[in-house]
Chain A
């Protein structure tokens, strides 16, 4: 019996973990308790040193002093303020008007706004709710296919999970021991490709099933010129001017052959947007009449999200701010914007802080639980056992990736991504590295995979939120006076299916073309934003029982535990 226990501690621990989590008690505490229980058993059996427990406080301390995780409350808070600032409504209204006259245009608008919101700070629930209450009624009114309309809304909402700055990527970077800046850079192209695939699908529907995605009728187009024209040519001219300004700036400012690509992109985009904004402001205040209403309006609604994207991603990619500080800048920007728009109330502020505090606490506690569990699990060589299992999969790299992706896809039905990230990812990472897999590529791949969990029926969160705002029963539309029938849950589920397939296609694409991720990792700019910090770039001694990290003996482990993850330093 004892021999059996000693032989099989790791598999037993793993099995207990599954049972204990399924009981339905908060995961964080169940995890930690399992770790401590098996630690005691291990000490009793002579497998582990009693000093193991002395390392526990150090484990929690390492979580506390983790700069990267600070981004979690910042981006959460930013999202909560932003979702109530009215920005999403303005965008959906205006972009809907812009694309509406096209067949499938409202679907394009939803995808475009979904991607834009995702790049400011994505909160899946907020995007889906806004689109479900603003775009869905219009789509239903003018005869969109219900499945297509609800599918496009849920899928576009989940873009927030993969387009930077997303919490998934932050946590993934932290757990894989990579820099958040790199993870962001790597996820950019796949995120936009995914949005592109959604748009291609919508385009296909518009061409082959025109009845599913009709254009807005004339009477529904509100931004018209007095002359009756749509005003779009004026917008196109403005866009061309802005793009030319960007290109000219890039040519003039970076004449060398090998410019720092992130910096070039960020700054020249900023110049182009600035030019368009200046033109619109001049047109508006001096009543020049050079720009159409829609051109002016589109510029004005696009400025706030673009400014926020610059504030967060721009400063991170320029190396001005660490990802954590980028989150704080974004949160401050969101506060300022809500204030200017008179949307910031005391109760909103308190509510956002309240929600953020609870989310932070439960997320970090899952991590604490996972760390306590892993202290024992690694102590009994559980990580070697898992690694051995994974490395023995047939098919080398490809076999490993396929199995892992199927595993994560299935686990995502039951676990949310924080649980996956803190419990499963640390076990997969070392095996992936041994197989020569680039961890950024691996992280982005799993990120796209986990995004699916937000939309597969019946547990997908995006579907759940869409259900909560889509019409439950038939209603009389105020504008047309016609009765419009309800959206059934079945329609929402079926609508998501094509997008889940697109998602799987994207996973396959990333596996087939790693360049989609690694191509985004620009040559390292040698800017260190954080020279002031004295850093000991040693990884946390996860693998062994860190006896040397015991209390009192090593007061400086605080420095050593800092992941060398200051965005600018490694970007």
Chain B
């Protein structure tokens, strides 16, 4: 049974991994569009509310669709003054507790409540009140979908914690995340300055 669940968990992980990797490209798009907006407005004295609104559509898309991806990579900020002192089994219990009592209820409530808002916007074909603004429903749709991805990831994390406590998989929070931006920077600098390389422990 748990084996089957682990399969589901792997499928969810892979889904959110792909969603995250595709979504982060939108940051580049948002950067270029936003800089473009300023330049066009200044040089050609032209401005379009649609292009201004696209900026925050992209921003919302990124933070909502990457919520699950961020959870998968254990990057949502915790206060670990206490939990940092505990064993990895105790931390797994904290995560199980948190997922069941914090993450799931709040994500389900928000997803549940935001769905009818999307349907309303879709049926009435609501358009932004800004002159020349965008159609609203794609924005409204991001909310329930983003929270759905988060709920899925919560489920996957739950399965992984239980499997870890049963001794079926190694500690899922210990998996190799690859070097961080800081480590890459340090590595590059060390490479350039041969002298400092030997300093490394």
Q: How far is the CA of A210 from the CA of B63 in the complex (A)?
A: 52
B38 CB → nearest A CB, Å: 4
Whether B130 and A366, one on each chain, are in contact in the complex, defined by CB atoms closer than 8 angstroms, is no
Whether B30 and A70, one on each chain, are in contact in the complex, defined by CB atoms closer than 8 angstroms, is yes
From A158-166, A186-194, A262-270, A314-322, give the one contacting chain B.
Answer: A314-322
A141 CB → nearest B CB, Å: 9
Q: How far is the CA of A109 from the CA of B52 in the complex (A)?
A: 41
Asked if A33 CB lies within 8 Å of chain B CBs, one says yes
Interface members, chain B 106-132 (any A CB < 8 Å): 106-107, 109-110, 113-114, 116-117, 120-121, 124, 126, 128-131
Whether B34 and A74, one on each chain, are in contact in the complex, defined by CB atoms closer than 8 angstroms, is yes
Whether A29 and B106, one on each chain, are in contact in the complex, defined by CB atoms closer than 8 angstroms, is yes
Asked if B83 CB lies within 8 Å of chain A CBs, one says yes
Q: How far is the CA of A404 from the CA of B122 in the complex (A)?
A: 47
Q: How far is the CA of A358 from the CA of B131 in the complex (A)?
A: 33
Q: How far is the CA of A327 from the CA of B196 in the complex (A)?
A: 34
A286 CB → nearest B CB, Å: 32
Asked if A114 CB lies within 8 Å of chain B CBs, one says no
* B-side contacts of A150, CB under 8 Å: none
Nearest B residue to A349, CB-CB: B28
Interface members, chain B 128-151 (any A CB < 8 Å): 128-131, 136, 139-140, 142-143
Whether B79 and A414, one on each chain, are in contact in the complex, defined by CB atoms closer than 8 angstroms, is yes
Q: How far is the CA of A89 from the CA of B193 in the complex (A)?
A: 10
Asked if B66 CB lies within 8 Å of chain A CBs, one says yes
Asked if B80 CB lies within 8 Å of chain A CBs, one says yes
* B-side contacts of A29, CB under 8 Å: 76, 98, 102-103, 106-107
* A-side contacts of B117, CB under 8 Å: 57-58, 61, 551-552
> A32, A360, A534: which contacts B106 (Cβ < 8 A)?
A32
> A137, A532, A551: which contacts B48 (Cβ < 8 A)?
A532
Whether A28 and B27, one on each chain, are in contact in the complex, defined by CB atoms closer than 8 angstroms, is no
* B-side contacts of A533, CB under 8 Å: 47, 49, 52, 130
A311 CB → nearest B CB, Å: 9
Q: How far is the CA of A353 from the CA of B32 in the complex (A)?
A: 13
A206 CB → nearest B CB, Å: 25
Please give the number of chain B residues whose Cβ is less than 8 angstroms from any Cβ of chain A in the complex. Answer: 95
Whether A66 and B102, one on each chain, are in contact in the complex, defined by CB atoms closer than 8 angstroms, is no
> B31, B38, B82, B136: which contacts A77 (Cβ < 8 A)?
B31
Given A66-B56, A534-B130, CB of A362 within 8 Å of CB of B35: no
Nearest B residue to A30, CB-CB: B102
* A-side contacts of B63, CB under 8 Å: 64, 360-361, 364-365
Whether B59 and A360, one on each chain, are in contact in the complex, defined by CB atoms closer than 8 angstroms, is yes
Given A22-B82, A329-B38, A365-B76, CB of A53 within 8 Å of CB of B113: yes
Asked if B164 CB lies within 8 Å of chain A CBs, one says no
Whether B109 and A60, one on each chain, are in contact in the complex, defined by CB atoms closer than 8 angstroms, is no
Asked if A280 CB lies within 8 Å of chain B CBs, one says no
Asked if A275 CB lies within 8 Å of chain B CBs, one says no
Whether B38 and A25, one on each chain, are in contact in the complex, defined by CB atoms closer than 8 angstroms, is no
Whether A353 and B27, one on each chain, are in contact in the complex, defined by CB atoms closer than 8 angstroms, is yes
Q: How far is the CA of A427 from the CA of B19 in the complex (A)?
A: 36
A-B contacts at CB below 8 angstroms, number: 290
Chain B interface mostly: helix
Asked if A518 CB lies within 8 Å of chain B CBs, one says no
Q: How far is the CA of A551 from the CA of B63 in the complex (A)?
A: 22
Whether B130 and A89, one on each chain, are in contact in the complex, defined by CB atoms closer than 8 angstroms, is no
Asked if A36 CB lies within 8 Å of chain B CBs, one says yes
Asked if A102 CB lies within 8 Å of chain B CBs, one says no
Q: How far is the CA of A32 from the CA of B147 in the complex (A)?
A: 13
Whether B114 and A57, one on each chain, are in contact in the complex, defined by CB atoms closer than 8 angstroms, is yes
* A-side contacts of B143, CB under 8 Å: 57, 60-61, 64
Q: How far is the CA of A395 from the CA of B148 in the complex (A)?
A: 50
Asked if A15 CB lies within 8 Å of chain B CBs, one says no
> A126, A353, A359: which contacts B25 (Cβ < 8 A)?
A353
Asked if A465 CB lies within 8 Å of chain B CBs, one says yes
Asked if A56 CB lies within 8 Å of chain B CBs, one says yes
Whether B79 and A24, one on each chain, are in contact in the complex, defined by CB atoms closer than 8 angstroms, is yes
Nearest B residue to A65, CB-CB: B56
Whether A137 and B199, one on each chain, are in contact in the complex, defined by CB atoms closer than 8 angstroms, is yes
Q: How far is the CA of A284 from the CA of B49 in the complex (A)?
A: 46
Whether B62 and A555, one on each chain, are in contact in the complex, defined by CB atoms closer than 8 angstroms, is no
> A60, A328, A356, A419: which contacts B35 (Cβ < 8 A)?
A328
* B-side contacts of A67, CB under 8 Å: 52, 55-56
Nearest A residue to B68, CB-CB: A361
Query: Would you give 7 A-B contacts (Cβ < 8 Å), ordered by A?
Result: A25-B103, A34-B102, A60-B114, A332-B35, A357-B24, A415-B79, A533-B130
4 tightest A-B CB contacts, nearest first: A24-B83, A25-B98, A328-B34, A26-B76
